[in-house]
Amino acid sequence: MKSYGRASVSEFLADRIVYRNLEPYDQRLPRLSQTRQAIGLPAGYIPRKNQAEYARVIVHLLQSCLRQDAPQAQIERLVFVGDTRLLDGTAYANLCQVSGWKGLAFIGAQDAQPASLKLAQADSGDIEHRRDTELRGSPLYLANRWTALRDFDQLCAAQGQPIEFGSAVVIDLDKTVLGARGRNGQVIDQARVEAVEITVAELLGAAFDPAAFRAVYDPLNQPEFHPFTADNQDYLAYVCLILGCGLYRYQALVAEVQSGRMTSFGQFIDTVESRKSELPPQLAQIHQDIYRNFQAGDPTPFKAFRRQEYRSTTRRFGCLDDSAPVERMLREEIVITQEVRQMALEWRARGALLFGLSDKPDEASLPTPQLEQAGGLPLHRTITHVVGE
């Protein structure tokens, strides 16, 4: 492993990127309200990455990008680069199905096993590829080395599907471009946990107990409790806050969840709402804000936590000296994946259209106006080290 200096994601994606709210950062592209109207989505609706409506939004944006770059051209193939077979694989299958384009996908996640680049098999027993038709003619390759991205590129060319002019390349940011899964992704997780802890500590004040916080956060963050938390960090942060103030006891909550008496976060926050008069004064307003956002259907209702996540995340961008050992960079910084950067730059030079996706909430990805005035930048414009094999 070595450092390749410093760069930002915008070096190869420019501002062609959407975060969770699906508002393109590139102001030349249509706003989500315009896209909704163009493709027939309900007002106020923000689809999630695993939904077909999400794919419809991205396809509309890709076509808008193409009209800017080459109005007479057409997209002939879709290339997807990500890090999770289930979520990214589903997003890829939806994009192919919605667009009708031929597809090629690379899903990378580094591990200690012998190097492998293999075709994912879709069969009736594979719940991660629910419908065989989703991948028919649109192969998905799994790799356990990020260096295999070049092999994938060569494989595509050998199959008569070169990644060049006529290709739309959709690249996932989180744990693909930034904090590669299996190599550097744990630093993204550390920033998020730190943000939860700082937010809860600030709101609880002297009542905050760091050891007690981790004793509830860590187990509730496990898959066992995902049906309750919906694997949503905003929900989990709020639950930790309520447990920390003593309105609910951890063991009692676990017993209710495990017995089926507490089945969802919605039920939990409704219960807190019915007991809000028991909340300490400093928490009454934050509860009201979160409850109102949740009732409005906002998937990221805990705004204070997400704004802190932005600060905790950007603090880990390029924070070490250039002379720092690469092993330390991978432990302490969120770095750009050189293998993805290098191929993206090559694909762009060949004429491919590049577009970035991030499922990270906008509040955790973009500076507030105050932070922007102080020099804060969106995550994709923030400089950090580039590391690769």
| pLDDT at residue 68, as a whole number | 95
Q: Which residues pair with 143 in a beta bridge?
A: 108, 117
Distance of alpha carbon 79 from the chain centroid: 18
Tokens 């919906």 appear where? 230
State which H helix or E strand residue 280 sits in: none
| Residue 276 in domain | yes
| pLDDT at residue 282, as a whole number | 85
Cα dihedral 134, 137, 138, 139 in deg (nearest 10): 110
Identify whether residues 179 and 210 lie together within a single domain: no
Identify whether residues 231 and 342 lie together within a single domain: no
Identify whether residues 179 and 255 lie together within a single domain: no
Domain count, the chain: 2
Tens-binned pLDDT, residue by residue, of the chain (389 aa): 999 999 999 999 999 999 999 999 999 999 999 999 999 999 989 999 999 999 999 999 999 999 999 999 999 999 999 999 999 999 999 999 999 999 999 999 999 999 999 999 754 334 444 444 344 578 999 999 999 999 999 999 999 999 999 999 999 999 999 999 999 999 999 999 999 999 999 999 999 999 999 999 999 999 999 999 999 999 999 999 999 999 999 999 999 999 999 999 999 999 999 999 999 988 999 999 999 999 998 989 999 999 999 999 999 999 999 999 999 999 999 999 999 999 999 999 999 999 999 999 999 999 999 999 999 999 999 999 999 99
List the structure tokens of 279.
Answer: 């909340």
| Residue 315 in domain | no
Tokens 């730059």 appear where? 345
Identify whether residues 190 and 230 lie together within a single domain: yes
Sheet holding 17-18, edge to edge: 17-18, 353-357, 167-172, 77-82, 102-108, 140-143, 117-119
| pLDDT at residue 129, as a whole number | 44
| pLDDT at residue 136, as a whole number | 56
Cβ 129 vs Cβ 89: under 8 Å: yes
Closest Cα partner for 357 from 99, 84, 147? 84
Identify whether residues 247 and 358 lie together within a single domain: no
3-state secondary structure of 203: helix
- Going by their DSSP bridges, the two strands 102-108 and 140-143 should be labelled as parallel
Tokens 């997003």 appear where? 91
| Residue 74 in domain | yes
Question: What's the chain's Rg over C-alpha atoms?
Answer: 22
Read off the amino acid at residue 277.
S
Range of the domain at 262: 185-310
List the structure tokens of 274.
Answer: 């019915």
Identify whether residues 215 and 168 lie together within a single domain: no
| Residue 325 in domain | no
| Residue 327 in domain | no
| Residue 32 in domain | yes
| Residue 382 in domain | yes
Identify whether residues 163 and 199 lie together within a single domain: no
Per-residue burial over 97-107, b = 16 or more CB atoms within 10 Å of its CB, e = otherwise = bbbebbbbbbb
Three state DSSP letters for 284-311? HHHHHHHHHHHHCCCCCCCHHHHHHHHH
Write the pLDDT tens digit of every residue in 301-337: 999 999 999 999 999 999 999 999 999 999 999 999 9
Identify whether residues 19 and 160 lie together within a single domain: yes
| pLDDT at residue 247, as a whole number | 94
Rounded CA-CA distance 357/223 in Å is: 25
Identify whether residues 73 and 115 lie together within a single domain: yes
- Please give the full DSSP string across 241-272, using - where no structure is assigned: HHHHHTSS-HHHHHHHHHHTS---HHHHHHHH
| Residue 57 in domain | yes
Identify whether residues 204 and 88 lie together within a single domain: no
Identify whether residues 202 and 265 lie together within a single domain: yes
Identify whether residues 174 and 221 lie together within a single domain: no
